[in-house]
Amino acid sequence: MSNYIEGEEGTLSKMWAVGISMKLLTPQRVREYEERGILPWCYCPDTERQVHYALGCGSLLMTVNDPLPALQLRERLGPQE
């Protein structure tokens, strides 16, 4: 993150959501942001395996290049509440 400022009044205190690269996405990282009140989103899970992993990590929103794997997984799993 460029222009990142540490501390209580720093960058994280002004964020309400964060986009996490699939390369950096882990359940622990998602929890860390959730504990700070920041919504954990991710980008670009473009295979069914990546979509499944992102959901398992707790990502609440995904930005994808190819929506078909996510749509196919949702169709198989059914609506999630």
pLDDT of residue 46: 93
The amino acid sitting at 63 is T
List pLDDT tens digits, range 17-56.
Answer: 999 999 999 999 999 999 999 999 999 999 999 999 999 9
What is the Cα–Cα distance from 26 to 22, expressed in whole angstroms?
A: 8
pLDDT of residue 1: 66
Contacts with 65 (C-beta within 8 Å, 6 or more apart), sequence order: 44, 46
